[in-house]
Amino acid sequence: MKRVTLALTLALAAGLSAQAADAQTLKTIKDRGMLSCGVSQGLPGFSSPDDKGNWTGLDVDVCRAIAGAIFNDATKVKYVPLSAKDRFTALQSGEIDVLSRNTTWTISRDTSLGANFTGVTYYDGQGFMVKKSLKVNSALELNSASVCVQTGTTTEQNLADYFKANNMKYEVIAFGTNDETVKAYEAGRCDVFTTDQSGLYANRLKLANPNDHMVLPEIISKEPLGPMVRHGDDQWFDIVKWTLFAMITAEELGVTSKNVDEKAKLENPELKRVLGTDGNFGEQLGLTKDWVVRVVKAVGNYGEVFDRNVGAGSPLAINRGLNNLWNKGGLQYAPPIR
Amino acid sequence: MSTEARKPPPQIALKIRRFLGGKAGWNGVAVQFAFAAILGWIGYEIVSNARANLENQHIAAGFGFLRNNAGFDVNQTLIPYTGSDTFLRVFVVGLLNTLVVSVVGIVFATLIGFIVALCRLSPNWLLSRVGEIYVEIIRNLPLLFQILFWYLAVLAALPNPRQSISLFGIAFISNRGLVIPSPVGQSGLEPFLAMLALGIVAALVLRFYARRALFQEGRMIRIWPYVLGLLFGLPLAAMLVFGRPFSFELPQLKGFNFAGGSRIIPEFVALTLALSTYTAAFIAEIVRAGILSVHKGQMEAGSSLGLSRGTTLRLIVVPQAMRVIVPPLTNQYLNLTKNSSLAVAIGYPDLVSVFAGTSLSQTGQAIEIIAMTMGIYLLISLLTSAVMSVYGWRVSRSLGA
């Protein structure tokens, strides 16, 4: 029903408003006093509510960082949990300001949805999880298997491509939400559960006996996950884009949530520029001079965010791998703040 | 000088005037045309404005996407379908899946509903209590809950394919579904089918003849031995002459799953079970109300003629009850069809799941896809109620009402 409501909102907004694309996102958010952020319905490590109902995760921290940059208060976020298939309509219809929901950047999504990706928060790839008792060691041994997948994802199409390319047969069972998919996999309806590899590790924690299941070594696709904003508001696009770059730059410069105040006092020209004691880049974005300080105080630098949510400091314990900084063998790279 | 009688205005013009303008006559027609024009103009403005706005926001619009490749697979298809087919084909696949689950569900719901209603009306105390408990439990629990219950209950009870339950070595039940042998046509298939068709036609002719003899001359003709002979004897003879019409392809366990044979997926079973048992509870009450609406004198008249309880029900009570039953029964059929859209919760690939779900998020064209889906549900519902109206009209007419 939510889908129908969203589609109707979109139809009405497009059909009745004289000019639907408004370039006032930042002003709207400030007037509202809240950032409206689209997240998943529960994916540990990326966005899921804890036992007290507080949202945590890598994707959630992106929302918190943006709220920190705007309000200097990371709690001023309204989280809108969305299923994979409702997420774009929610963004198009204006229900959310930014979609931060483990969403793969593809050309069709970037060009036909009326929305833009602002960067890559996590470099991922699609993998497979099976029960250890099946004694399967490679995805190439999965001929004639039944595969559970969440509907409305790039995963579904990669799956079709992979099995076709390798001349294997399979049966797909597509469910509406992540939890339903995992439950059916656990109930034995399918042999294989497939999603982005980070999601496999995260969902494995939800299973009754995580050690009975293993993630196969094959990565069958490129899944760069990132936040999305609506077309037509370049200022807002810049703010979301540079909030992520601020987190990465802070890690490069060794600025953490603990030492940010001391670092701001140092006479290092680059630090002065980034942390806003010199120059006015923040004001050019429509924010304040100390925007990077605010972001880092809100969530920490990219490395801290990664470790806390999905990395060594979390139950997921995923290696930095591709998500390490560019000068440490990874792909995370921010254009200079100058 | 005789005055010519004034000619009455042509009937056809009057009819048109009444049809278009109602009681207000030609003034009414003008108002209606103006109103239609305004509605049309508003609709046009909304559509063209929406198009312009979507274009401004670089959101793809229009129905061109239907010709694009879908690129994903579906696990139950009634027509051949692969990932390289178009979104239009996905639409048809999903629609057929919705229709098949609705039709099967309606048949079972009607059967169960009638049986439960007769139980509730039965003079047998235990039987009527069982019927009552069934109705009260089933209709008071949410449908989505029942669908999930059946799905997880069905799945949990079934073993994996390697330990599947074998039925005489030809059919297998596992949590991948029920696999049965599938028929493969052989050389004798065509004469076999031709003879079968001939047998059916001949049986129908025989029935027509027997009924006419009964109603016009009061003769009872026993036709069932001939009908059996026609229906089974003719195809059997064809088999003896032309050889076996088809052979069966047996399912075999290969790797993770069964290869060959036909398969009914557990999602379909769970959804059909849930929809038909749920709707049956409502149908039972409708049927009970319908039967109770027939005066009990009718039942007594039947017994005084020496008819058995079953025959009285079948020939006298039910036909009269149908007049009351049909309109609310139509509502239940429509409900069942629309409720089948809950399928997405258990991964059954119905129209809402594959088209308004997967296709929507692959293409992002929410307005077009939701409009198409709503349109097709409306069409199915209107067709169902049209068919039921015709049936209701025939029932009333045959009773002389």
| B280 in the same domain as B331 | yes
Q: How many domains does chain B have?
A: 2
| B136 in the same domain as B263 | yes
Q: Which of B46, B152, B345 sits opposite A15 (nearest CB)?
A: B46
| B50 in the same domain as B153 | no
In angstroms, rounded to a whole number, what is the distance separating the alpha carbons of residues A142 and A168? 8
Extract the residue ranges of chain B whose pLDDT is less than 70: 1-3, 8-9, 20-25, 400-401
The closest of B339, B340, B356 to B348, measured between CA atoms, is: B340
| pLDDT at residue B63, as a whole number | 86
* CA distance to partner chain A, nearest, from residue B37 (Å): 19
The closest of A217, A220, A244, A225 to A163, measured between CA atoms, is: A220
The closest of B261, B250, B256 to B164, measured between CA atoms, is: B256
> Which residues partner with B171 through β-bridges?
B167
Q: Put the strands of the sheet holding B165-167 in their side by side order.
A: B165-167, B171-174, B177-180, B262-264
| B52 in the same domain as B169 | no
List, in sequence order, the alpha helices (H) in chain A.
2-16, 25-32, 58-71, 87-92, 107-112, 154-165, 178-186, 197-204, 234-252, 260-265, 269-274, 281-285, 291-299, 302-309
- Which H or E run includes A171? strand A170-175
Residue B235 lies in a domain: no
The answer to whether the CB of B184 falls within 8 A of the CB of B247 is yes
Backbone angles phi, psi at B248, to 5 degrees: -110, 135
Yes or no, beta carbons of B360 and A89 under 8 Å apart? yes
> Which residues partner with B184 through β-bridges?
B247
| B119 in the same domain as B261 | yes
Identify all chain B residues contacting A181, using CB atoms and an 8 Å cutoff: 347
Residue B36 lies in a domain: yes
| pLDDT at residue A187, as a whole number | 86
Residue B44 lies in a domain: yes
Identify all chain A residues contacting B57, using CB atoms and an 8 Å cutoff: 20-21, 92, 114, 230-232
| B174 in the same domain as B41 | no
| B169 in the same domain as B91 | yes
| B389 in the same domain as B327 | yes
Here the CATH number for the domain that contains residue B131 is 1.10.3720.10
Tokens matching residue A97: 């300001």
The closest of A88, A96, A90, A92 to A34, measured between CA atoms, is: A96
3-state secondary structure chain B: CCCCCCCCCCHHHHHHHHHHHHHHHHHHHHHHHHHHHHHHHHHHHHHHHHHHHHHHCCECCCCHHHHCECCCCCCCCCCCCCCCCEHHHHHHHHHHHHHHHHHHHHHHHHHHHHHHHHHHHCCCHHHHHHHHHHHHHHHCCCHHHHHHHHHHHHHHHCCCHHHCEEECCCEEEECCEEEECEEEECCCHHHHHHHHHHHHHHHHHHHHHHHHHHHHHCCCCCCHHHHHHHHHHHHHHHHHHHCCCEEEECCEEECCEEECCEEECHHHHHHHHHHHHHHHHHHHHHHHHHHHCCCHHHHHHHHHCCCCHHHHHHHHHHHHHHHHHHHHHHHHHHHHHHHHHHHHHHCCCCHHHHHHHHHHHHHCCHHHHHHHHHHHHHHHHHHHHHHHHHHHHHHHHHCCC
pTM of the model: 0.79
Residue B15 lies in a domain: no
> Which residues partner with A293 through β-bridges?
none
* Per-position pLDDT tens, chain A of length 338: 566 777 777 776 666 665 444 568 999 999 999 999 999 988 889 999 988 889 999 999 999 999 999 999 999 999 999 988 889 989 988 899 999 999 999 998 998 888 999 999 999 999 999 999 888 889 998 888 899 998 878 888 899 999 999 999 888 998 888 888 998 898 888 899 999 999 999 899 888 888 899 999 889 999 999 999 998 899 999 999 999 999 999 999 999 999 999 998 888 999 999 998 888 899 999 999 999 999 999 999 999 999 999 999 998 888 898 999 999 999 999 999 98
Residue B7 lies in a domain: no
In angstroms, rounded to a whole number, what is the distance separating the alpha carbons of residues B386 and B130? 35
Q: Which residue in chain A is spatially nearest to B360 when comparing CA positions? A: A85
In angstroms, rounded to a whole number, what is the distance separating the alpha carbons of residues B265 and B76? 8
ipTM of the predicted assembly exceeds 0.85: no
Q: Which of A18, A111, A146 sits opposite B256 (nearest CB)?
A: A146
Identify all chain A residues contacting B47, using CB atoms and an 8 Å cutoff: 15
| pLDDT at residue B88, as a whole number | 93
Q: Which residue in chain B is spatially nearest to A87 when comparing CA positions? A: B361
* Residue B35 lies in domain: 20-56
Q: Best interface-test mutation with A: which of B49, B65, B72 has the largest number of A CBs within 10 A?
A: B72
Question: What are the CA-CA distances from residue A28 to residues A97, A290, B112, B269, B345 (Å)?
Answer: 9, 22, 56, 50, 36
Identify all chain A residues contacting B261, using CB atoms and an 8 Å cutoff: none
| pLDDT at residue A6, as a whole number | 72
Residue B272 lies in a domain: yes
Residue B218 lies in a domain: no
Q: Which residue in chain A is spatially nearest to B359 when comparing CA positions? A: A152
State whether the Cα torsion A42-A44-A48-A53 is positive or negative. positive
Yes or no, beta carbons of A187 and B50 under 8 Å apart? no
Identify all chain B residues contacting A133, using CB atoms and an 8 Å cutoff: none
| pLDDT at residue A20, as a whole number | 45
The answer to whether the CB of B352 falls within 8 A of the CB of B305 is no
- Which H or E run includes A170? strand A170-175
| B374 in the same domain as B320 | yes
| B176 in the same domain as B29 | no
Yes or no, beta carbons of A21 and B57 under 8 Å apart? yes
* CA distance to partner chain B, nearest, from residue A85 (Å): 5
Strand A213-215 and strand A126-131: the pairing is: antiparallel
| B140 in the same domain as B45 | no
Question: In this predicted model, what pLDDT tens digit does every residue of B9-66 receive, in sequence order?
Answer: 677 777 777 776 666 667 777 888 888 999 999 999 888 888 888 887 777 778 888 8
CB neighbours of residue A35 within 10 Å: 24
Tokens matching residue B234: 């003719």
The answer to whether the CB of B97 falls within 8 A of the CB of B369 is no
Yes or no, beta carbons of B57 and A92 under 8 Å apart? yes
Identify all chain B residues contacting A164, using CB atoms and an 8 Å cutoff: 83
| pLDDT at residue B264, as a whole number | 87
Strand B246-249 and strand B257-259: the pairing is: unpaired
| B256 in the same domain as B132 | yes
Contacts of B136 (CB under 8 A, 6+ apart): none
Residue B70 lies in a domain: no
